[in-house]
Amino acid sequence: MMTSDIRPARPEDAGAVAEIWYQGWCDGHLGNVPEDLVASRTKESFGTRAAERVDDTVVATVDGAVAGFVMVVGDEVEQVYVASGHRGTAVAAGLLTEAERLVAVNGHQQAWLAVVPGNARARRFYERRGWTDDGLFDHQAPSDSGPISVPAHRYVKRL
């Protein structure tokens, strides 16, 4: 059985985080978000964003290689991605548990995250982990040209 180690990201992890983020984002978002968001999410943009977000990032490693990551800001679990070869393992659950812990450490009693309606795999995963769909809202996704409105489900969990 494969086990993962959870630790804060380091600058040298940014390349692996960017690759996992780009591939996972494409898997869960293409065909499920507005085209202007797709146009702004170039492969290069994930490299830039991963390097800028190291301080908000926690990684899971398997045999020393980054297998997934989460980004937490305040009470929001902002990003949760696992490399395709590690999906269906305990990596995602370990990362989400760590994200929930970080939200609590940030002084919040409830965590939230956004999931696009068409990302059924992610929605099932969060529901299995005790998260509740709190309804649709317009998520404001950041881009170089300003926020892009993206219909999303707001999932919440009491901590």
Each residue of 56-102: pLDDT tens digit? 999 999 999 999 999 999 999 999 999 998 988 889 999 999 999 99
Residue with tokens 């984002």: 25
- Alpha carbon distances (Å) from 100 to 1, 43, 66, 109, 146: 24, 28, 20, 10, 29
pTM for the complete prediction?
0.93
Q: What is the pLDDT, as a whole number, of residue 111?
A: 98
C-alpha 159/C-alpha 151 separation (Å) is 25
Residues 6+ apart with CB under 8 A from 42: none
C-alpha 107/C-alpha 86 separation (Å) is 31
Confidence tier at 2 by pLDDT (50, 70, 90): low
What percent of the chain clears pLDDT 70, i.e. is strictly above it? 99
